[in-house]
Every structure is written in structure tokens, then in C-alpha cells.
Structure 1
Amino acid sequence: MKNYIKANEWKIIEEGFDPHLNKISESIFSLGNGRMGQRANFEETYTGDTLQGNYIAGVYYPDKTRVGWWKNGYPESLAKVINAANWIGLNVTIDGETLDLAQVQVSDFKRELNMREGYLLRSFTARLKSGKAVSVTARRFCSIANDEVAALRYSIRPLNFRGTLTITAFTDGDVKNQDSNYGEKFWEEVDGTIIGNEAYLTLRTKKTAFEVCTGSSISIFKDGSEVQPELEAIRKDKYVGQTFHIDCGQHEIFTIDKVAANLSSENHPKPLLMERCKQVVQTARAFGFEALLNEQAKAWAVKWQESDILIEGDVAAQQAIRFNIFQLFQTYTGKDDRLNIGPKGFTGEKYGGSTFWDTEAYCLPFYLATAEPAVARNLLIYRYKQLGKAIENAEKLGFSHGAALYPMVTMNGEECHNEWEITFEEIHRNGAIAFAIYNYVRYTNDTAYLQEYGLEVLVAIARFWKQRVNWSNDKHRYVILGVTGPNEYENNVDNNWYTNLMASWCLKYASEVALGLKAQQPQKYMELLKKLDFKEKELADWAYIVEKMYYPQDSKRGIFLQQDGYLDKEPLTVKHLSAADRPLNQKWSWDRILRSCFIKQADVLQGLYFFEEDYDLETIRRNFDYYEPRTVHESSLSPCVHSILAAKLNDEARAYEFYLRTARLDLDDYNNDTEDGLHITSMAGTWMSIVEGFAGMRVRNGQLQFNPFLPGKWESFSFSLIFRGARLNIKITEHGIRIKNESMVSLTLKVRETSYQLAGYAEIETGDSVIRPLV
């Protein structure tokens, strides 16, 4: 675990340059705006260890699958968000010497990510081999006010010499993904042009034929006054740039402002792409760097007003939660229902930037509570639009009659994961899609979504489960064989309790929604029956499966069994593991992992988290106390579920312990993998740990409920929620909870077991003594 990030409430700060930490910092200090993003690569040349990364949302390439043993049903390609043109590039030479932090003496290095205003600031002093020294300050951002625009300002000051600066500002599209399976480059050039201080480069992806035009305009200043040195156009394959030379005096400050735009054919007609890009660049240039930066700050102020969590008494925790929220909004803004959330967002290439079930299970609650309903709705519409592909995916595996299996990993709806134990067996992801629909409607009361989109998805998922179960003559129950549950350290098991539970629940929920539509809008119901070739006998079939579903359990211990045969495993706990064994996935053979009882992440407990209202407290406690000691938490998604359940069980000590594991997972490089990119979906789990865990927020019977406690190190914490049109601010202290309605919408809510009517612009404050500080 690293510990080099300085504690600060609104900034992420790195002081001093350590090349061994550079790729970690490139991830941590990443920027994005939901439409594009980039790792925190240096603007100037850097020949040290780095992962250069710029990414455009929705633009992907079907990289040819690489497997050792092909199996029927495997996808032929792995779709991935691809490394796009590097627009930030500045080659800087000083009297012929290249400024390269891997080759010079670096001092006074500081990197700051300003989360309040949404920009990255870097400064350093460099002494070259000749002894010449310069100080540099660089600031850049990806605008969330205009998500096609980004900008940088780079200033350099000679400290002990007079000489000639030569700077080449460039856009380089001759890039490739580090995770390219065969070392292939995915882009080909369409067009490039340089006009004075502007440069434009249009690239096209091979196979998928997406086009992206990257444009830029540069302005040059000496001691704050604009100058116009002669620009030399540099044109190469997939490369445009401008070089200029400036004679500089000691302590004179030379600044280059570069405004840039990335426009894709997803949003603009290809024949007009470059012309549109020119318009955006020229407008941004006329606006100016400072005005763009001010616009950025104002846009982030709105985001923070809706989503900030304020923690008093713990600066490290404050910094961590704001970092998590900041990166979530940099990754996804909800403006486009064609986009989703990759586990690494725009911060790295691992997992290909594709969509997993993480979105529905972990990210949706965050966007439900911190943004307008349309944002979360677009996440669901994304899946609805891919329903046809989900049905095709199921057909490839032998399912029929409109049964849908949503992909484990996807970009366009097609499965692009090629490990058999995941691709074919981790089918519980279907349940997460259905649960997200339920969760969305429960929170927003947007029942119209069910009629417009949701029921079609639910029917297709229910049809899958009906065909996936089979009758066991031995058990006289329906069983589900050959699956992988959320615990990916168990493959090809029978009757994973969580999977069986989700299957049964999906069948039940689909029936409830169908019958509700029949009662409320019979004409719409009949139209859907015809569209889906739906017979009401299907409802009876689903109900019988629900009634007869088999759930493995152990009556002696009073627990649900993770799967058949789980108790045959050697009964160890994590305490039996030495430090040399961890992490298991790096230290043990897969055979040894599969034979062990150790659990990667919440499995049975994932089901108890989703449906906790269906189980009494003691049932949850018995299962928690049995499974948590066997859980190694080697998935970033694991600690948050355990934190929330521990809070439910009034186990504040463990709730806070698990929260700490997720809150600073990336800032402290807890799992030694931050250099691959940040854990964006886990960050949503961090938010859940506070709001659903410490504040105990739930939606029950259409009402908000709170059952809070205050972590002992904290003096207070507060957060905002949007719920069914109401905007609430909730503050929890050692004295109680205060809920302030910042809207005109009145609502009824509960604090513990007491109901309150909260009028518009009113507030309530309780001082009950059962809000317990940690000890």
C-alpha cells in the first residue's frame, strides 16, 4: 500500500517526483468529462515508464480474440475503448536539449488535481545536463460545460540562462493500445490539415469505421503579452503539429495556450466532421483559456452542490469520498443513452472500457440519488437498446423464443468475454439488469419506464431463466447447474444460492409488472403481448418455477449455502492465510483456488444486500458471520457490500473497517494495481458505504428511511439526495440527524421507526440517543 498522496479536502496532491510511482499517478490524476478522458501523462517528452492514454467515449475496436482453446459460443472479438489521438503533446527543447523528466534533474515537483474546479495543475524545476534550469507550470482540463472541448496552458521560465526555446505543439494519432492482443494499431488516417495556428487530424477505426476529428489551436505569450512567432507546419502520417522558436531571456515567462476539441462520427455526420471541429475550436479559442476555465469551475460547482459529501473531523476520509465522486462524474454524465460506465472509466485500458454488471449493481444507486432521473434512466435505456443483441447472445447458446442473456462484457450488446467460466456461466448478470429496473422504479416512481421499456426486458430475462432451470427428480425442485456466482473463485458449480435467488426473483418480478400493466393499461398490455408473442401461460410456468426453486442451505448452521457441496471444502478462514499467500489470484494456482473455501467477493451476502427486507436480522447476521471470515476481498466491489451489511447489523467497527478498504483503494494503491487505471465502479460502492451504510438510507414502500450512526473519528457528515423531485440535505452528528428540504416538494420519511412529514423548504431534526459513535 502506498501513502504518498497528501491529505487535503479538495485536492489530490503529489509532492516530489518518483518515476516508480508515475504510472500510478497517471491514473490517479486522470481527467474526463463523460465524453472523453485522458490519463495524467506529461505534455512534454517523457521516455520513462508511462502508459499514454486518451479515450473517446463510444468509440471502440473489435480486437481479435486471443484464446488457447476455442469453444462454441466464444466471441470472435473483444471490443475495447481504444487509445485515441494524443492532443496534449508539446516537444520542448532548450538550445537543442530535450526537456524530458526521465533525463534531467527534477526538483520542486508538484502535481495537484483540483476537484472543486475540475483541473490538473503540475509544476516543477528541471536542470538539464548542460546545467541550464527552467521552471514549468502546466494546467489542463476536460470541459464538462462543453464536453467536446479541452484545454491546456503550459508556461516555461528560464532560471539561469538566455537561449532559444523550440516548441512543437502536436496531435499524434499514431498510437496503440497497451492491451492490443496482437500489437495491432487500430487507427488509419482520413485527413489532416494545418492552417496557421490551427491543426486538425481525422482518424478512422479499422473494421468499425468510427471517425474522430481532433483539432487544436495554439496561442503564444511572452510575459503575458501575445506574440506571433513564425510557425513551421509539421505533417506526418497520423500526425499534425506546429514548431516555433523563441529567444528567451532569464526569468522571462513563455506560455502556450492550446485549446482542443474531439468530435466523433457518433455525434456528427462524417462529411461535416472536420468543419464542425473547426467551428468548435475557433469558438473555444475566441472564448479564451481563462473564460473556459471559469466556465469549468461553475459547471463543477453545480455538480458539487448536488452530490457533495461533507465529512468533518477526518481529512483523509473527506479527500477520499470527494475523489470518488469526482471520478464518477468525470466518467459518466448521463447525457447519452448510448454510453455506459467502464470499470476503469477513462483512466486505463484494463477491462477494455466495456460495460459489466457493475453498472447496474453498484453505479446506478449513486446516479439515482445525485442527478436528475434522466441520468439513471439512460443507463437502463442503454440496456433496452441492446435487448436484440442480448436475445442473439442467448440464441448462440441454444436458447429460443425471445430469451435474452445480457453479455458479461460488452460495448455494443454483443458478448466479448472469452473465458468460459464467465462467458457461459456467470449468468447472474441477467438478474442485475432486472434488479436495476426494479431499483430505478422503486426510487423514482417512474412506472412509465416499465410500460415503455422495462417489461420487454423483464420478459426476455424471465424467458431465459425458464429455459435455464431444469427439474431435479432427486430433489423434486428446479435447479440451476453449471454456473459461476459473484464469487469468481468458484466455477462450474451447481445451485449457487445467489443465482437461484435472482432467477426466482426475476420470474416473480416480471409477472408482477406484467399483471400490473394488465390491470392499469389493458390496451397497452395486449399490444405488448402481440409484440412479444407472449402467452399468459408463461406467467403460470414462471410462478411454478418460483414455487419449486431449490435453495441450498445448512439447517445446522442456519445459513444459506453458497452452492451445493460448499461444506465439503476444508473449513478455513482468512486468518489461516499468511501474507505470502495474498493475493490468492497472484500467489496460488487456479486449481488450488477452486478447491479452497475462500471467497473473492460478496456472493450469498450480495443477495442479502439486495433483498435484506426479506430476511430477519439474525438470518443476515448468521450468514455474515459465516461468510465474511472466508472472504479475501480480492475484488474491489467486495468491501462496500460488507460495510453496508455490517452497518445494518449495528456492527459499526466492521462497517468502518470495510469502508476504509474501499474509500482510498486507488489513492493509496491498496491492491498494487492502480497503475492499470482507477476502480470507477468500486468508487460508487464507496458512496453507497456512507449513504446506505453509515446513514442507513433505504427506500421502503415508496418512502425514504434512515437508520444512521456516526463513525467515531468523524465529528459529523452530511450529503444531498434527489428523491422523487425533492432535494434533501441530510446531516448526521453525535446529537442526531437533521434533514432539510431544499425544494417545494413535500414528502413523508422515516428516521428509525418514527415517521415525519417534511414540507417544502422545511427541516426536521431528531436527537435520539441511539445514534452511536464508534469506539
Structure 2
Amino acid sequence: MNQDYIKPSEWSLIEEGFEPGRVKSSESLFSIGNGAMGQRANFEEQYSGPTFQGSYIAGVYYPDKTRVGWWKNGYPEYFAKVLNAPNWIGIDVEINGEALDLQQCTSVKDYRRELNMKEGWYQRSFKATLKNGAEVSVTATRFLSIDIDEVGAIKFEVTPLNGEAEIKFTPYVDGGITNEDSNWDDKFWDVSETGTQGDYAYVRSKTMKTGFDVCTGMRAALLLDGKLTEATPAASKTDFKAQLSYTVKVAANSTAALVKMAGYVTSMNHKSEDLRKASEAVIGKAVEIGFDELKNMQAKSWAAIWEMADITIEGDVKAQQGIRFNIFQLNQTYLGKDARLNIGPKGFTGEKYGGSTYWDTEAYCLPFYMATKDAQVARNLLKYRYNHLEKAIENAEKLGFTNGAALYPMVTMNGEECHNEWEITFEEIHRNGAIAFAIFNYVRFTGDYSYVPEMGLEVLIGIARFWHQRANYSAQKDKYVILGVTGPNEYENNINNNWYTNYIAKWCIDYTNKQIEKVKAEYGADYTRIMEKAKLTEAEVAEWMKVADNMYFPYSDEHGVYLQQDGFLDKEMIKVADLDPKQRPINQHWSWDRILRSPYIKQADTLQGFYFFEEDFSREELEKHFDFYEPFTVHESSLSPCVHSIQAAVLNRMDQAYTFYLRTSRLDLDDYNKEVHEGLHITSMAGTWMSIVEGFGGMRVKNDMLSLEPRIPEQWKGYSFKVNFRDTILKVEVKQDETVVKVEKGAAMTLNVNGKVLEVSSEKAVTA
């Protein structure tokens, strides 16, 4: 049974009623972020019930020493940890001398949370009766400013209901925090200084090993019935914490409010010696603007994001809520301002998965950012990988590869591999192909070829060298094979000739060869520079091509399909529909040994290849492979439903496409995988966007032209989306009986709609 306590609403997440058992889940779902920092929806006040504290700073991490039972050559020395950063939200509240703690209150009524996605703020409200008999109404509102992205703002309002009350607010910043997922219970932070001055308090801390220097600062002010008081706070500090205290007598039905501006400045953006001064300055700027005006600015900034990124759905509130939640969280996680940053699978909502970058970025996130931002944002994601090329070469060298072969990491913060499960680290090498595919996809969509001669060709050469060395000749097959791999289906390890891996390896070599020829013909100076730097010869490329031209692909004549890997048909082929539902999800009920011997597929594997390389196969071939593999797919990866939704739409199986869409869009809202308390599935949220735009909308780039083949689920009256295609912003509106395409900004363009080539401009919309 999936959770269903989030109220359907087009622009908000709403929870009603206080249930301690779902606090951790809601802490994930109601998380906020601004691309530079993020915060789980923890309570500001004390809470003695189960909770998962989480405050995060983009780019700040700790190299937690690898913990394995048996060390193998080539293991990464550490697993990167997204760090729980100093707590900036804390506000202890006492009513007539008793701490406000919802776990200890005798009653909690009218409890409500709202995450307003349209304007980018989070609010919690309730009425509580404390053990001392005091009844209060509380409203806490907070947001992380997009305009001043080193600052978060909180307004915590308390109204006594049954008589005058003495209220004490103690806002603080606390560096004495830990990660839930530490391997060795190491101390991740060294707190060097705490202090207060007037209404400003701060904690200086530095990460162990990596040396990220952070000043967490705050200023606070007390309001009574909306008017600023002259209250002077009592200040105190410990080795880890700095706090201020405000005490005020409040009449019944009057409201005391504590306004807190707080946040992080780091050595990534400031000199260490200037951090405290920078903290005071940026928080001072926020205080000068004021809470209400900063919140108005937040709404305007989010309006600008939504103007381009929004997808509307008519007639299906749950579907509408789902897609907006996904788009909202993607923009909270990454806004494309800083090429040093990337998109972690949990974003700013949890600690699981450690590093900030997986192949998810290239395979799933890039299309969203290309189409809803501008080309520069997507280019920054590719530049991130170019900046890590030397580390990718080092990663390959550690595994015995030579001559500049590059193996990009499965998980990374700084380009080094930091994932320590051997079946992933050593074997899930298909991630290399996703990075090359992203270069192709970027050029295809944006029309910006300049990335290839400037940076991309060097990346492609390193990747092609890896595939050439990783394949070996099989005399028995008279073909090149790739042995000992894990494909996208992580429920098979150490298998031979995963079709998707072999196919993308061949494609990478072919694509790299074509780009070498193009750069040679059209960018002579770049060609000379790159060939000299890479020491690449025509003879070496000829050796690559032998591998690409003679790659082995397992195939079943009986079934007429490419086999996921050599031994796939040796399994006991029981379909998912015939499994006992009580055994699902199998990753929580079966041993790993049993999973590995089963035919069950975690996520699209062979079908991932059919998604990437759709034009290489007929729809009949797609249908045959979809019908063969989907019945064995358990969709226990967040990345699975979106690919299947897109392909079901291509096959015009709209009921199935809609079911998969609803699952991907509400994966976390409805907690399909029973793990939302650990954080959200940020990277798969981009797949939700793809399910509508590429699935239902049928958007492709074919023959250097944008192509649309729209379909619509019967559950919807209509839907719309926008894409920025080569600096022309198109709006696509799909109804049950027609599709309208218009240019909202930019030059006229030619596009293909349902097989017809049409001209569209700002003056001339097209209807199909």
C-alpha cells in the first residue's frame, strides 16, 4: 500500500494532521533548496521524536574512508559523503518555562504543512497544548532565497490562546552535528570558533581532510503583533554553538514572532580570512531587505523559473501536482550557475548515495536543463566532465588501463571514483557511454558544435580508448566481447556481453571517429592541438575501428530479440505478474544471491539502449523487445518507469504510458519504494519531465529539425510545455483533438509535427 497523505493540489504539497510516524517522510518531501544550499523540513523547535536532521551546502563533502570486508586492488580509498552541515534553522521555544516539543505536548490540533511550489516557500502551522496547560497557535514560515543564495529566512510566530504567556525564543547556529551514514563514526567537522555580537551569532567550522571552511551565521529580531521590538537578546555560546535568547510577555491572542536570517558562506566563494565579514554582510543585506520583501522577491524569482519550466495538465490534479513537484525539486537542486556543481541523486534532501554525480546527470538530467534553461546551463554540466578528464584517466590507470584511456567514475565529487561496491565500481562501465551520448545529445539539441573542438573531443578520445582496451577478441566467436560487467540492470553482476554496454561501446567509438574527421576538416587548429595533446595517430584509430566493426551482440533467434547478456535465457523465466506480491520489492525481501539468479530487471537495460538509439531500430523491433523485457522488470530503480513510459507512448499504449508516468511523477509523493524518509529521487525527476515531453509530446530532433508526435492520455483534457530549442522558445499545447505550436520568443523555425513539415513564428502558430 502506497502512502496517500499528501493532499492533491496543483501548486502545493499539503499535509494535514500530526502523525509522528510520517515525520521523516515529510522532512524529505517538504525539503527546500536554492541551488547553493538545501534543508530538510526539520522542525525549528525541539523535537524528541524520530527525526533525520539535514542541512546541506552544495559542493561541500567529506571523503569517508572506504569500509569493506576484503580490500581489492583498485578500490577507491574513500566514499564521498554529502555532509550534514551546521544547523542554521534551530529556534528553541519555551512557553511559561516549558519547552515546545510536539512529541511531548498533550494535544496537537489543526496541524498543517504546506510547500508552496509556485512561490518557493514552506510553512507549518498547528495548535498545541503543553503539559503545563498553555495553549498556543504556531505558524513557522521559511524559504531559501534564490536572490541571495547564501541566506535562508524564517518567521516563527507564536500566539497564546488561553491567557497571557511568557515566551522565550532561543535562535541558534550549531556546528555539533553528525551524519547518519558515517562509515566509521568519524568526526566530519572541526569547529574552530563560535561567537555573538549584538543580534549576530556565528559558528566557524572546517571539514576534516577536505578543508572546506564555512561560517554559519545568523541575525534575529523579535516582533510583537507585527511591530519590531527593541528587545536586546541574551547571548551565550559553547564550543559548538552560538545562540541568542529573547523573552517576552504576550497577551492572549497577541502574536510574538521571531524572524531569523541565517545561512552559509564558504571558502569555495570567499577567502577564509574574510568569511565572518562576508557572513555579516550577506545576512545584513537580507535583514535590510526584510522578511516580507525577501519573500516577495522569492515569489518573483520562482515565477521567472516557472514561466519557462512549467508543464500544465488539465483534468488530473494528481498528475499535475506530480510533475510540478519534480520540476520544483530539480530547480531547487541545480540552477546551472556554477560549473563546479552537479546534480546528486538525493539533491539536498538526504545523505544516501554520497557523491554528487552519477551517470544520471548525462542520461536523464541534461535534456531537462537543455530545454528549460539555455544552452549555457547544459554546457556547464558537460564542462564539469571535461574538467574531470584527468581524474577519469587516473581512475582508468588504477584499474590497469593505459595511453590516456578514461573511465569516468560511477560516483564522484571531484572526478575521483568514490564508490566502493566492486560490482558497480569496476563493472558498471556503461556510465562512460552516457557521457559520450550527452555530448552527442547536446550538439543535436542546441546546435552548438563548439563544445566538441573546445573540450568534448578530448573526452571522447579518452572514452574510446577505454572501450578499445576493455573489449577483447574472442577466437571462439571471432568477435570482440566485453566480459565481467554490470549493465543498467544492477540485479545482474559480473555477466558477459551485456547488450547495452556492448552497443554503447561500439557507438562511442564510431561517434568519436566521426568527430575526429569533422574537427580535422572544419577546425584545423583545434585538431592539431588535440592530436598533439592526446598523441593520437590514425593507426590507433584504425585499431579502435576493428573493435567497433566486429563487436559481438548476444541474440536469441527463438525470441527474435537481443539478449540482455549471454546467460539471460539460462534463468528461470517467471514473469513479474506471477510473483507473490508479498515478495515485492524483491530488494527488501530476497537475498542478493537469489536476486542475481533471477530474471528480474531493476530498470531499463536493453530498453535503455532502445531509448538512446531509437533511430537505429524500427518500431516493430522496439515493440518486440518491450514485450519481451518489460514483463520481467520490477521497476525498483527510480530511473525505470520514465523510460518505459516514453517507450509505451511511442508504441501508442497510452494506458500503460500513463500508469508509468504516474509512478515516476509520484514516486516520492506516494512512496512507491518505501524509502522516501531517506530523501527524494532528484535525478529521476528529470525522467518524469522526459515522460511528458519526449513520451506524450513525442519530442525528438530528427534531420537537424525539431520533431513532435503528440499523444494524450484519455485521463487528461490537455497539457502544455515549453522548450528552448536553439534560442527559440516554443510552447506546445496538446488537446484531445488538436495540437497547437507557437513561438513565444525568438526566430521563426521549421519543425515536423506528426510527419508534416511546418513553419512556425511568433505571428503564426500552427495547428495539427
For the superposition of Structure 1 and Structure 2, which TM-score range results when normalised by the shorter chain? over 0.9
Q: Check if 1:718 corresponds to 2:737.
A: no
Structure 1 partner of 2:282 = 280
* Counterpart Cα distance in 2 of 1:597 and 1:414: 33
Q: Deviations over 1:252-275 (max 9, x none)?
A: 100111111311101111111111
Q: Check if 1:524 corresponds to 2:514.
A: no
Shift, 1:762, TM fit: 2.8
* Counterpart Cα distance in 1 of 2:759 and 2:540: 42
Structure 2 partner of 1:101 = 102
Shift, 1:664, TM fit: 0.6
Letter in 1 for 2:8: A
Q: Check if 1:568 corresponds to 2:566.
A: no
> Is contact 2:488-2:605 (8 Å) kept?
yes
> Is contact 1:345-1:353 (8 Å) kept?
no
* Counterpart Cα distance in 2 of 1:559 and 1:527: 44
* Counterpart Cα distance in 1 of 2:273 and 2:290: 28
Letter in 2 for 1:422: I
Structure 2 partner of 1:69 = 70
Query: In structure 1, the residue corresponding to 2:321 is in which secondary structure?
Result: helix
> Is contact 1:742-1:761 (8 Å) kept?
no
* Counterpart Cα distance in 2 of 1:650 and 1:762: 29
> Is contact 2:345-2:683 (8 Å) kept?
yes
Decide which of 440, 443, 461 is 1:441's aligned counterpart: 443
Q: 1:22 to 1:306 in 2, by over 3 A?
A: same
Shift, 1:303, TM fit: 0.2
Q: Deviations over 1:371-407 (max 9, x none)?
A: 0111111111111101111000000000000000000
Decide which of 458, 461, 478 is 1:459's aligned counterpart: 461
Letter in 1 for 2:76: P
Shift, 1:150, TM fit: 1.1
Letter in 2 for 1:277: S
Q: Check if 1:41 corresponds to 2:29.
A: no
Moved over 4 A (4+): none
Letter in 1 for 2:690: M
Q: Check if 1:357 corresponds to 2:359.
A: yes
> Is contact 2:127-2:136 (8 Å) kept?
yes
Structure 1 partner of 2:24 = 23
Q: Deviations over 1:30-75 (max 9, x none)?
A: 0000100000000100010100000000000001111111111111
Query: In structure 1, the residue corresponding to 2:724 is in which secondary structure?
Result: strand
Shift, 1:653, TM fit: 1.5
Q: Deviations over 1:430-450 (max 9, x none)?
A: 000100111011100110000
Q: Deviations over 1:598-649 (max 9, x none)?
A: 1111000000000011101111111000000000111010010001011111
Query: In structure 2, the residue corresponding to 1:352 is in which secondary structure?
Result: coil
* Counterpart Cα distance in 1 of 2:28 and 2:344: 14
Q: Deviations over 1:261-298 (max 9, x none)?
A: 31110111111111111110111101100111011000
Structure 2, unmatched stretches of 5+, are none
Q: Deviations over 1:286-330 (max 9, x none)?
A: 110011101100000000000100000001111110000000000
Shift, 1:353, TM fit: 4.5
Structure 1 partner of 2:676 = 674
Q: Check if 1:317 corresponds to 2:319.
A: yes
Letter in 2 for 1:321: I
Structure 2 partner of 1:430 = 432
* Counterpart Cα distance in 2 of 1:378 and 1:555: 44
Q: Deviations over 1:90-120 (max 9, x none)?
A: 1111111110011002111000000000000
Structure 2 partner of 1:389 = 391
> Is contact 1:744-1:761 (8 Å) kept?
no
Letter in 1 for 2:562: F
> Is contact 1:175-1:185 (8 Å) kept?
no
Structure 1, unmatched stretches of 5+, are 767-775
Structure 2 partner of 1:90 = 91
> Is contact 2:202-2:216 (8 Å) kept?
yes
* Counterpart Cα distance in 2 of 1:536 and 1:213: 53
Q: Check if 1:503 corresponds to 2:500.
A: no
* Counterpart Cα distance in 2 of 1:603 and 1:628: 10
Q: Check if 1:189 corresponds to 2:200.
A: no
* Counterpart Cα distance in 2 of 1:585 and 1:354: 24
Decide which of 394, 415, 418 is 2:417's aligned counterpart: 415
> Aligned pair count?
766
Shift, 1:759, TM fit: 2.6
Letter in 1 for 2:729: R
* Counterpart Cα distance in 2 of 1:315 and 1:759: 32
Shift, 1:761, TM fit: 4.3
TM-score, structure 2 normalization = 0.99
Letter in 2 for 1:80: K
Q: 1:140 to 1:761 in 2, by over 3 A?
A: farther
Decide which of 192, 201, 204 is 1:202's aligned counterpart: 204
Decide which of 85, 95, 113 is 2:115's aligned counterpart: 113
Decide which of 468, 471, 483 is 2:470's aligned counterpart: 468
> Is contact 1:643-1:658 (8 Å) kept?
yes
* Counterpart Cα distance in 1 of 2:494 and 2:293: 57
Shift, 1:179, TM fit: 0.4
* Counterpart Cα distance in 2 of 1:419 and 1:103: 42
TM-score, structure 1 normalization = 0.98
Q: Deviations over 1:206-231 (max 9, x none)?
A: 11110111111111111111112231
> Is contact 1:743-1:761 (8 Å) kept?
no
Structure 2 partner of 1:139 = 141
Further displaced range: 610-619 or 162-171: 162-171
Shift, 1:763, TM fit: 1.1
Letter in 2 for 1:46: Y
Q: In angstroms, what is the RMSD of aligned CA positions?
A: 0.9
Letter in 2 for 1:327: Q
* Counterpart Cα distance in 1 of 2:63 and 2:733: 47
Shift, 1:744, TM fit: 3.0
Q: Deviations over 1:197-253 (max 9, x none)?
A: 111221100111101111111111111111122311111112111012111211110
* Counterpart Cα distance in 2 of 1:190 and 1:378: 34
Letter in 2 for 1:715: K
* Counterpart Cα distance in 1 of 2:415 and 2:734: 42
Shift, 1:162, TM fit: 1.6
Shift, 1:28, TM fit: 0.3
> Is contact 2:641-2:660 (8 Å) kept?
yes
